[in-house]
Structure 1
Amino acid sequence: MKINIKNIRVKSICATLFISLFLSCNNGIVEELQKQKDSIFSISNLRQGFLDIVTSFGDIIAGTLGFNAVTSEDKRSAVGVHFDKVKKGLEDIKGKLDGLAKEIASAPHADTIGVGAVKEAIKKAIDEVISKLIDSVIKLAGVTKADGNIGDNDHSSGALPANEASVKAIIAEVKSIIEVAEQSGVKIEPGSDGAAVKSGDATAPAALAASTVANAKAGSLLADEVAKADPWAMINKIKNSTTNTSVLSGNDKDAGTLATGTKAADNNGAGAKTNADLAAAVALKAMTAGGRFSAAQNEAGAVKGAAVSAVNKVLGVLDEIIRKIVVKKLDKIGEALRGIEYSETVGATSEGKN
């Protein structure tokens, strides 16, 4: 029997070529699968990092919730400390977002359009929102660190006006925060203004601006007015306030005027346009330097309680507005992150993207 050496060689060569081709293709598949695996892990880690930022922000807000920010034992400076905490929280979020942007830029096999969208969303969140909020909160902290007790009051020499420059600063920064909110698509609730509160020695406004000492009923009536005040209406009244250091008299005064006006020539004080104006004025006077209330000796506690309640309502609403603004921007970043896709080459645009 004759063995055809030539045929064996040809078959051997073909088999070798087939095996080499198979192994080469297999290596390419393995390499591609490894790339995809690396990309999936990388993108997954980015998304987990973002979730950590969201969780961190939730913890920050929970730790600085303004509706219980101050107590009747606190000094006015506690308000400034609260704003400092909010500032630190916002700075922490800003730093974490900066870090996330750097991680995204170096993510392997993530498409450039998806990466670009996330980086742009982060940039907008920082430049258009977080940096502006930090600036406002710094200014608010700067004018709410005065000495003296929250709700400081006197039962012999009458009320004293709040420092006008400090009140103006609060009005300006509340306005700025609300503008950022509206530009971010956050709805600012109008709240319920409540009825006008007329002046008189036995009425709530007397505790705010009486010449010597308010009637024995004024302190408890002030506490009642603050208790029923709508926090959202209060913050809107502050935003739209003006200041005036003239002697207070008559009725229909806004929050800023009631807080900064010189005490009345009598013990009647001055009437407020609405319940919300009166409560907002109490908060402004309680938070800032110089402000002092008038109270009968047995009503000092009631006036102090009204002041603490008014301040907490304002701080609580401001914190809620800031929370909603940041959540809106974090949602945008999260949406952009979900759009990142695998790309075959590092830094390439994924197929099907424009």
Structure 2
Amino acid sequence: MKLKKELGEREIERENRMEKIGAKMRKKGIILMMVMMMGCNSGGVKDSEKVFLSEMVNLGKGFLDVFVSFGDMITGTLGIKADTKKSDIGKYFSDIEKTMISVKEKLQEEVSKNGKYEKVRTVVEQFINGTLDKIASGAKEAASGANGDVIGNSKKG
């Protein structure tokens, strides 16, 4: 009888140990699954707001590059003096025309890369057609008339 009682107590202790071990294993398993799910999901889905903002930043950088080259061209504007040759001025206006064409191409390239933004595309196309084309054609016309000697020797005719 004592033996049966002892065996029963041992069996109960063993079952309790197994339940404790099972409970610990379940907790560890749940924690492991949570860690794996969080780790696997960390880069899987892109936040649409972040994607939009990064695209707008890239668009802004593209426009900045274009206007820096435009600004570099403008900085040389005041370099004309009385002893400057007309041919130098003609070259200057030819360079303006080339720069305007380059700026126009870069802007069109940026717009084509980021064509999803209709309002931006419309404004840029208006700027290209209304301003850059006029500057380029005016510079071309000015360059064609700038031949001869220095400006200081110009005569009214």
TM-score under structure 2 length normalisation? 0.64
CA distance in 1, matches of 2:15, 2:66: 75
Say whether 1:53 aligns with 2:54.
Answer: no
Report how far residue 61 of structure 1 moved: 0.4
1:1-354 maps to which residues of 2 (within 5 A)?
1=12, 2-3=14-15, 12=25, 16-17=29-30, 19-32=32-45, 43-63=56-76, 65=77, 67-72=78-83, 74=85, 76-105=86-115, 112=116, 115-142=117-144, 144-147=145-148, 150=151, 151-153=153-155, 285=156, 291=157
Tell me the matched-pair count: 143
Q: 2:4 matched to which residue of 1? A: none
Q: Is the 8 A contact 1:46 1:100 kept in 2?
A: yes
CA distance in 2, matches of 1:11, 1:127: 72
1:81-116 deviation per Cα after TM superposition (whole angstroms, max 9, x unaligned): 2321221221232232223224435xxxxxx4xx33
Distance 1:16 1:36, change over 3 A: farther
1:1-25 deviation per Cα after TM superposition (whole angstroms, max 9, x unaligned): 3416678658745753554245324
Report how far residue 126 of structure 1 moved: 1.3
CA distance in 2, matches of 1:55, 1:90: 12
Q: Is the 8 A contact 1:80 1:145 kept in 2?
A: yes
CA distance in 2, matches of 1:39, 1:23: 29
Report how far residue 123 of structure 1 moved: 2.0
Q: Percent identity?
A: 21
Quick one: which amino acid aligns to residue 88 of structure 1? Answer: K
CA RMSD of aligned residues (A): 3.8
Distance 1:70 1:81, change over 3 A: farther
1:149-208 deviation per Cα after TM superposition (whole angstroms, max 9, x unaligned): 54445xxxxxxxxxxxxxxxxxxxxxxxxxxxxxxxxxxxxxxxxxxxxxxxxxxxxxxx
Gaps of 5+ in 1: 106-111, 154-284, 286-290, 292-354
CA distance in 2, matches of 1:101, 1:53: 12
For the pair shown, the structure with the greater C-alpha radius of gyration is 2
1:275-319 deviation per Cα after TM superposition (whole angstroms, max 9, x unaligned): xxxxxxxxxx4xxxxx2xxxxxxxxxxxxxxxxxxxxxxxxxxxx
Q: Is the 8 A contact 2:90 2:142 kept in 1?
A: yes
Q: Which has the higher contact order (CA 8 A, sep 6+)?
A: 2
Quick one: which amino acid aligns to residue 82 of structure 2? Answer: T
TM-score under structure 1 length normalisation? 0.32
Q: Is the 8 A contact 2:82 2:150 kept in 1?
A: no
* Structure showing the higher helix proportion among its residues: 2
Quick one: which amino acid aligns to residue 85 of structure 1? Answer: D
Q: 1:316 matched to which residue of 2? A: none
Equivalent position SS for 1:3: helix
Q: Is the 8 A contact 1:70 1:79 kept in 2?
A: no
Equivalent position SS for 2:15: coil
Q: 1:177 matched to which residue of 2? A: none
CA distance in 2, matches of 1:145, 1:40: 48
Quick one: which amino acid aligns to residue 71 of structure 2? Answer: G
